A and B are shown apart, each in its own frame.
Chain A
Amino acid sequence: MIIIGEKINGSIPSMGKAIAERNEKRIRSMAKKQAAAGADYLDCCASVNENEAETMRWMIGLIEESCDTPICIDSPNPHVLAEVIADCKVPGVVNSVSGEGDKIETIFPVIANTPWKVVALLCDDTGIPKSAADRIRVLDRIMADADRYGIKHDRILIDPLVEMLCTSEDGIAMLLEVIGYIKEHYPQVHIVCAVSNISFNLPYRKIINEAFTVLAMNAGMDAAVMDPLNRDLRGIIYATEALRGNDFYCMDYIGAFREGIFGPVEEETK
């Protein structure tokens, strides 16, 4: 499972404040914590209206000083992303492209001959498609573009777009249909979800997020944008991998437990 740590994101109010105040300590500490928890990538999203590239560069520098974990550069603006790729010491993930505007034409040429991975959202200029068939249409177009630029499928993380459960009429049936199609037609592609989107506007969101994670993993989700410090969810992911037969003699589950990634928190000695 690929874990993309979501904590360094300006749209989270406390992080937005830290970014606005240029609070280096806060960003460093969040990078260190997520890296120590075993995140595979650290999302880096400035979420500012002005000087976005400059802000991102400052954040990237702080993250790279704090840990060796590669960065997932995150912006709705493809030109900002294309600009800051060169500022990362280690290849990471571009988050994201989609069928919207010139995103693909801006990003794909820049990463074509690099090891960079890319998140692709299944939406386009018409918005978020309502039906599985329409999302699949966006997917097929993105994949055709990837092939055109020679971007190998295992460098692509498709985000089928998780929407809130509380207003859905079929639960996650449509989402699972899209995931099933991806697995069948593009087996090398990774499937990434922003897990916590599922539980917006519901009480005790944690339970919904956890149940979603199990079902989505069972369908083929193999990457998540999440809080790597969420011990329960991390444990559920290890358990689900083991239950799906992807963990030889539960060695990963046991190992992660030993490392303290999940399980009861020991009382700190005072």
Chain B
Amino acid sequence: MVESIKETVVAGKLKLIEGVVREALDNGATADEVLDSMSVAMDEVGGKFQRNEIYVPEMLVAAKTMQRGVGVIKPLLAGDGIGKYGKFIIGTVAGDLHDIGKNLVSMMTEAAGFEVIDLGVDVPADRFIEAIKENPDCKIVALSALLTTTMDAMKNTVEAIEAAGLRGGVKIMVGGAPITQEFADSIGADAYTTDAASCAEKAKELAS
């Protein structure tokens, strides 16, 4: 039963997932078991993506499938099942309007078990700081940039968080096409990952 949930998520069968989840619940599976099977599925999807075995939209559809499946069990979960790794603030930095990579990371981290707070695109440093203050329990802040010209804004954002005295409480992750490990190190970020799936993995590691 739980196995078929996993397969449905991996295959991205968006239209079938709700029925499959309900059937599993009817047959005695617990909401936690259902959630676990979907997480395992997304781990598998992430792995396939990293190995270039699937394409971006396939990962997206799998994540959407999981979201829809979660919708069915949400009322049954004790509350700590979803977002068990805590909060994850994400945004594309000031001056940059690109959101595809950022959205992928949002979906993958949510699927991995984070409560994602998505600040959108062209997010000024102040807005990141505000969000961290509003969510003192948030452990991770992720910054996205797709343009070489907005890499500076990423640097400024890290500095501003530092200046606001909030740096100690959060881990900062960075990513985006022009970003490299060297750049991440140079601006004092805690982690850099090359794609959404590894970002979700790394986030779990940082949060636990």
Per-position 1/0 for A245-256, Cβ under 8 A of B: 000111100100
Q: In B55-70, which residues have CB < 8 Å from any A CB?
A: 55, 57-58, 60-61
Q: In A225-261, which residues have CB < 8 Å from any B CB?
A: 248-251, 254
Which B residue sits closest to A254, measured CB to CB? B55
- 15 A-B residue pairs with Cβ-Cβ distance under 8 Å, sorted by A, are A248-B14, A248-B61, A249-B57, A249-B58, A249-B60, A249-B61, A250-B55, A250-B57, A251-B12, A251-B57, A251-B58, A251-B61, A254-B55, A254-B57, A254-B58
**Closest chain B CB from A141 CB (angstroms):** 41
The CB with the most chain A CB atoms within 10 A, among B14, B57, B61, is that of B57
Report how far A250 CA is from B55 CA in the complex, Å. Answer: 10
Which A residue sits closest to B57, measured CB to CB? A249
Report how far A251 CA is from B55 CA in the complex, Å. Answer: 10
Q: In A194-241, which residues have CB < 8 Å from any B CB?
A: none
Taking residues whose C-beta sits less than 8 angstroms from the other chain, chain B's interface range is: under 10
Report how far A249 CA is from B12 CA in the complex, Å. Answer: 11
A residues in contact with B58, CB < 8 Å:
249, 251, 254
Taking A249-B58, A250-B57, A254-B58 as known contacts, 4 extra A-B pairs with beta carbons closer than 8 A to each other, sorted by chain A number, are A249-B57, A251-B58, A254-B55, A254-B57
Closest CB pairs A-B (n = 3)? A249-B57, A249-B61, A250-B57
Report how far A120 CA is from B198 CA in the complex, Å. Answer: 55
Q: In A84-115, which residues have CB < 8 Å from any B CB?
A: none
B residues in contact with A249, CB < 8 Å:
57-58, 60-61
Which A residue sits closest to B15, measured CB to CB? A248
B residues in contact with A250, CB < 8 Å:
55, 57
Number of interface residues of A (CB under 8 A): 5
A residues in contact with B12, CB < 8 Å:
251
A residues in contact with B55, CB < 8 Å:
250, 254
Report how far A250 CA is from B61 CA in the complex, Å. Answer: 10
**Closest chain B CB from A95 CB (angstroms):** 34
Report how far A251 CA is from B59 CA in the complex, Å. Answer: 11
**Closest chain A CB from B51 CB (angstroms):** 15
Report how far A209 CA is from B19 CA in the complex, Å. Answer: 43
Report how far A254 CA is from B11 CA in the complex, Å. Answer: 12
Report how far A250 CA is from B12 CA in the complex, Å. Answer: 12
Report how far A250 CA is from B136 CA in the complex, Å. Answer: 40
Report how far A248 CA is from B14 CA in the complex, Å. Answer: 11
A residues in contact with B14, CB < 8 Å:
248
**Closest chain A CB from B98 CB (angstroms):** 19
A residues in contact with B60, CB < 8 Å:
249
The CB with the most chain B CB atoms within 10 A, among A249, A250, A251, A254, is that of A249
Which A residue sits closest to B61, measured CB to CB? A249
Which A residue sits closest to B64, measured CB to CB? A249
Which B residue sits closest to A242, measured CB to CB? B57
B residues in contact with A248, CB < 8 Å:
14, 61
Which A residue sits closest to B58, measured CB to CB? A254
Report how far A248 CA is from B12 CA in the complex, Å. Answer: 11
Which B residue sits closest to A253, measured CB to CB? B57
Which A residue sits closest to B55, measured CB to CB? A254
Q: In B96-143, which residues have CB < 8 Å from any A CB?
A: none
Per-position 1/0 for A123-148, Cβ under 8 A of B: 00000000000000000000000000
Q: In B67-99, which residues have CB < 8 Å from any A CB?
A: none
Report how far A170 CA is from B12 CA in the complex, Å. Answer: 45
Q: In B10-68, which residues have CB < 8 Å from any A CB?
A: 12, 14, 55, 57-58, 60-61
B residues in contact with A254, CB < 8 Å:
55, 57-58
Report how far A254 CA is from B57 CA in the complex, Å. Answer: 9
Report how far A254 CA is from B53 CA in the complex, Å. Answer: 12
A residues in contact with B61, CB < 8 Å:
248-249, 251
Per-position 1/0 for A9-23, Cβ under 8 A of B: 000000000000000
**Closest chain B CB from A243 CB (angstroms):** 14
**Closest chain A CB from B14 CB (angstroms):** 8
Report how far A254 CA is from B55 CA in the complex, Å. Answer: 8
**Closest chain A CB from B45 CB (angstroms):** 14
Report how far A248 CA is from B57 CA in the complex, Å. Answer: 9
Report how far A147 CA is from B60 CA in the complex, Å. Answer: 45
Report how far A249 CA is from B61 CA in the complex, Å. Answer: 7
Report how far A3 CA is from B126 CA in the complex, Å. Answer: 56
Report how far A109 CA is from B92 CA in the complex, Å. Answer: 64
Report how far A94 CA is from B16 CA in the complex, Å. Answer: 35
